[in-house]
Amino acid sequence: MAQHGTQAHSHLYGVILAGGSGTRFWPLSRERFPKQLLRIIGEETLIQQTVRRLLRSMPPRRIMMVTNEVQAESIKLQLTAWKEELADNYILEPEGRNTAPAIGLAAIRLVRQDPEAIMVVLPADHVIARPAQFQQAIRVGEKLAQEGYLVTFGIRPTRPETGYGYIQPNRRAGLGGKQKPLGYRVAQFIEKPDLPTAQQYVQSGRFFWNSGIFLWKASSLLEELAQQQPRLFRGLKQIDGLIQAGSSISQLVKPYRRLESISVDHGVMEHSARAAVVPVDFGWSDVGSWGSLEEVAKKNSSGNVTNGNVVDLGSRNSVLFADQRLVATIGLTDMVVVDTPDATLVCPKVLAQDVKKVVGILKKRRAPERLEHRTIFRPWGSYTVLEEGTGYKVKRVTVVPGRRLSLQLHHQRSEHWVVIAGRARVTRGEEVYELQAGDSTGIPKQTPHRLQNPGKVLLEIIEVQNGAYLGEDDIVRLQDDFGREPKTDVSNDNLKRRT
């Protein structure tokens, strides 16, 4: 923590955009478990790495997260190391409206907190190989931001990528720096170009990739927003007022839906006279698809990126991602194979972007495999659906030492619990009793009950549910340690969660 001690009195803030849709890394990512939550490279998940990276430049209480309610729960579970400091730093959008509204809302809040606030805006799910150089780039950007520039970081392109935006700097308009300019005014922003154009850009050496990482004074951004997107700006002001007045998220849905869905690149940067680009080289990758994983992940001598229980015979340059289940591959070249407990993807690397289309099909079919994993994390532990069938569901439930689930009852299902590890304290109606590995108990429907781990090791139980209806929304919460509402959950889907 010493590293940001010197910056404690600066006006630098981090704004992490953490509202991914979980389509591009399906089936490892899901709608409710997007890429930022994945441990794709290294020991930490991408959002943990993103926070860690910002901590080189600022204390944790200066880091804000813009996300939605469902994902916030998962993010909090991953950021427990900074739980207290981040507690008030979540801005929850009722739905995603692209980056301009998310960033605008954060800027309004920051200016109120600190009129001099300078904000680094960055996605939660990018990889940056050299965090020290990232920290250095922030220092450079901060200088230009203080002069009122809207700074974006430009990456030297290494291939004619048609999925990115490009930036052309005005080389005659160098900014800051005495010998060598720190950055340049932007000549133009270019939306995703076609392949010949992209090839020309790469060859010319005169264009940068737009990294989607920005740095500016919150007040500068708001000035531009007010001028270029006055309707959006007014809408955001109104929403900020509602939040200030204590409106619930469901009350924000309507005004939020009226906001224009627009990116900050398109809505602000493209037409701003203050846009600047700082060339950087901190090993950036947006890891935009399974096909691009090789940019950042460790490859073996055959060029394969391999994970989990894979038995391979002679594959080359492929992404072979398994988990516990066995995946056998023979003689694959430039392929992607991703296996998860409930779904498997197989495609050539060059078509990995099309996984979005698969998720689209699954969404139409209301297939559960696009929404959530079989294992769901909760503040008290986790549960894994082992099997579901007509009239029954089998789960393995884990409870962290000292934690307990809500005191709850179900109208339509009975439950049986068999302890397989640890110690359980069970509340059933008026009774409270303890169980150990090998013990079991039954919870009739309509009976208030609670599962608690009074021990020092993880409690694990097998839960067998019986009943005509087994949706997660058949729950009446009578008391909860985690502030979850004492009512039936309403979700936007027939797949209910919450336990």
Instruction: Give me 264's structure tokens.
Output: 């900050």
**Among positions 187, 226, 400, 418, the unique one binding a copy of itself when judged by CB under 8 A:** 418
Q: Which residue has the tokens 């059933």?
A: 428
Smaller CB separation from a copy of itself, 104 or 291: 291
Smaller CB separation from a copy of itself, 2 or 313: 313
Should residue 421 be labelled a site residue for a copy of itself when binding is judged by CB under 8 A?
Answer: yes
Cβ pair 306, 300 in contact under 8 A:
yes
Smaller CB separation from a copy of itself, 129 or 437: 437
Which 333-392 residues touch a copy of itself, going by CB under 8 A? Answer: 335, 337, 339, 342-348, 351-352, 354-355, 357-358, 361-362, 367, 369, 386-387, 389-392
At closest approach, how far in Å is the CB of 396 from a copy of itself?
6
* The dihedral sign for the CA sequence 240, 241, 246, 252: negative
> Cα-flanking dihedrals φ and ψ of residue 90, to 5°?
-100, 125
Smaller CB separation from a copy of itself, 179 or 390: 390
CA distance 453 to 436: 11
CA distance 154 to 169: 9
Instruction: Give the range of 46-54, 158-166, 201-209, 320-328 binding a copy of itself by CB under 8 A.
Output: 320-328
Should residue 305 be labelled a site residue for a copy of itself when binding is judged by CB under 8 A?
Answer: no
Smaller CB separation from a copy of itself, 10 or 353: 353
CA distance 96 to 32: 13
Letters for 460-489 (x = contact with a copy of itself by CB under 8 A, - = none) are x-x-x-xx----------------------
At closest approach, how far in Å is the CB of 293 from a copy of itself?
16
CA distance 411 to 322: 39
Instruction: Give the range of 9-17, 226-234, 241-249, 323-331 binding a copy of itself by CB under 8 A.
Output: 323-331
Instruction: Give the range of 73-81, 146-154, 280-288, 414-422 binding a copy of itself by CB under 8 A.
Output: 414-422
Smaller CB separation from a copy of itself, 99 or 289: 289
At closest approach, how far in Å is the CB of 436 from a copy of itself?
10
Q: Which residue has the tokens 């919450």?
A: 498
Which DSSP symbol is given to 192? S
CA distance 413 to 446: 8
Query: Mind giving me the DSSP string for 242-293?
Result: HHHTT--HHHHHHHHHHS----HHHHTGGG-TTEEEEEE-S-EE---SGGGG
Should residue 394 be labelled a site residue for a copy of itself when binding is judged by CB under 8 A?
Answer: yes
Q: Which residue has the tokens 């229980």?
A: 309
Instruction: Give the range of 117-125, 325-333, 447-455, 489-497 binding a copy of itself by CB under 8 A.
Output: 325-333
Which DSSP symbol is given to 492? S
Smaller CB separation from a copy of itself, 84 or 387: 387
At closest approach, how far in Å is the CB of 300 from a copy of itself?
17
Q: Which of 330, 294, 297 is nearest to 312 (CA)?
A: 330
What residues are paired with 64 via a beta bridge? 15
CA distance 328 to 331: 10
Should residue 311 be labelled a site residue for a copy of itself when binding is judged by CB under 8 A?
Answer: yes
Type and span of the H or E element at 432? strand 431-436
Which DSSP symbol is given to 333? B
CA distance 366 to 436: 39
Paired sense of beta strands 183-190 and 118-123, if any:
unpaired
Should residue 23 be labelled a site residue for a copy of itself when binding is judged by CB under 8 A?
Answer: no
Letters for 237-276 (x = contact with a copy of itself by CB under 8 A, - = none) are ----------------------------------------
Paired sense of beta strands 275-280 and 183-190, if any:
antiparallel
**Among positions 400, 437, 476, 495, the unique one binding a copy of itself when judged by CB under 8 A:** 437
Smaller CB separation from a copy of itself, 224 or 460: 460
Smaller CB separation from a copy of itself, 226 or 367: 367
Smaller CB separation from a copy of itself, 26 or 90: 26
Residue 172, CB half-sphere, CA atoms under 13 Å: how many? 1
**Among positions 87, 173, 326, 457, the unique one binding a copy of itself when judged by CB under 8 A:** 326
Paired sense of beta strands 305-307 and 183-190, if any:
unpaired
Centre a 10 Å sphere on the Cβ of residue 157 and count the other Cβ atoms it contains: 18
Should residue 458 be labelled a site residue for a copy of itself when binding is judged by CB under 8 A?
Answer: no
Q: Is 77 helix (H, G, I), strand (E, B) or coil?
A: helix
Should residue 313 be labelled a site residue for a copy of itself when binding is judged by CB under 8 A?
Answer: yes
Residues that bind a copy of itself (CB under 8 A): 26-27, 311, 313, 325-332, 335, 337, 339, 342-348, 351-352, 354-355, 357-358, 361-362, 367, 369, 386-387, 389-392, 394, 396, 414, 416, 418, 420-421, 437-438, 440, 442, 460, 462, 464, 466-467
